[in-house]
Amino acid sequence: MTSTLILLRHGESTWNATNQFTGWVDVPLSEKGMAEARRGGELLVGAGLLPDVVHTSLLRRAIMTANLALDTADRHWIPVRRTWLLNERHYGDLQGKDKKETLQTYGEEQFMLWRRSYDVPPPPISDDNPYSQAGDPRYAELGDQAPKTECLADVVARLEPYLRGPVADDLAAGKVVLLAAHGNSLRAVVKLLDGISDADIAGLNIPTGVPLRYELDDNLKPLVAGGQYLDPDAAAAAIQAVANQGR
Ligand SMILES: O=C(O)[C@@H](CO)OP(=O)(O)O
Residue 75 among known ligand-binding residues: no
Atom 7 of ligand 1, residue of closest alpha carbon: 21
So what's the pLDDT on residue 112? 96
State how far the Cα of 16 lies from the Cα of 30, in Å rounded to an integer. 9
Distance 63 CA to ligand 1 centre (A): 17
State how far the Cα of 221 lies from the Cα of 199, in Å rounded to an integer. 20
Alpha helices in the chain (DSSP H): 14-17, 31-46, 60-72, 99-116, 152-162, 168-172, 183-194, 232-243
So what's the pLDDT on residue 63? 98
Amino acid, res. 225? A
pLDDT tens digits along 117-176? 999 999 999 999 999 999 999 999 999 999 999 999 999 999 999 999 999 999 999 999
Residue 76 is among the residues annotated as catalytic for this protein: no
Sort residue 92 into left (φ over 0), alpha (ψ -120 to 50) or beta: left
Could you tell me the fold of the domain covering 3-243? Rossmann fold (3.40.50)
State how far the Cα of 21 lies from the Cα of 16, in Å rounded to an integer. 8
pLDDT tens digits along 116-132? 999 999 999 999 999 99
Q: What are phi and psi of 163, to 5 degrees?
A: -65, -45
Output b/e per residue, 24-55; b: 16+ Cβ within 10 A.
bbbbebbebbbebbbbbbebbeeeebebebbb
Segments of the chain scoring below 70 in pLDDT: none
Q: Which atom of ligand 1 is nearest to the CA of 183?
A: 5
As for ligand 1, residues whose beta carbon falls within 6 Å of it are: 16, 21-23, 88, 91, 115, 183-184, 242, 245
Q: What are phi and psi of 243, to 5 degrees?
A: -60, -35
Assess contact for 242 and 183: CB atoms under 8 A: yes
Distance 23 CA to ligand 1 centre (A): 7
Assess contact for 27 and 13: CB atoms under 8 A: yes
What is the bridge-based pairing of β-strands 228-229 and 53-56?
Answer: unpaired
Sort residue 96 into left (φ over 0), alpha (ψ -120 to 50) or beta: left
The interface predicted TM-score of the complex, written ipTM, equals 0.95
From 55, 88, 150, 182, the catalytic residue? 88
So what's the pLDDT on residue 214? 98
DSSP, collapsed to helix, strand or coil, labels residue 213 as strand
